[in-house]
Structure 1
Amino acid sequence: MKTTRKKREFSVVIERDTEGFYVASVPALSGCHTQAKSLDLLMRRTGEAIDLCLEETDPHLPTNEFIGVQRIAVG
């Protein structure tokens, strides 16, 4: 019998690397990241990566409230 997990939402940071791949990381889940050539594929892969990361982490892990993203120039 398949167990049903409570739906959770995570903030995802998406960037494009120098080779044109979209790269997603999930700040709330250390080491949870993936990449793809399209945004649609990236989102599917990100969902899969989150599921895998959740299997290895505390199921009661709190999710922080997303506030925003800022860019900062240094140097």
Structure 2
Amino acid sequence: MKSHRTPGHDRIIVVTKGALRDVNLALSGLTLLLGQIANTEAGADFETAMDWANALQWLRDSIGAAIASPQEEIARQEAGQ
């Protein structure tokens, strides 16, 4: 069964790219905030800060992969036309 590109596909791509950009901005902000907390006198120790930084990186990568999956499927369908 051949798949044809539809305006719906284009909307999905635009929305998912926008969502990924928003996620990246939010996680970058959280990472900066974490850095400020770690630098304060009563802030978190280095190990805790690194654990949180790694968790935020994992979250960003996981969300990015989840968003990219539909885009890759659309690209595969379009390539098969």
Instruction: Tell me the TM-score normalised to structure 2 length.
Output: 0.30
Q: Which has the higher helix share?
A: 2
Q: Which has the larger radius of gyration?
A: 2
Higher relative contact order (CA 8 A, sep 6+): 2
Q: Which has the higher strand share?
A: 1
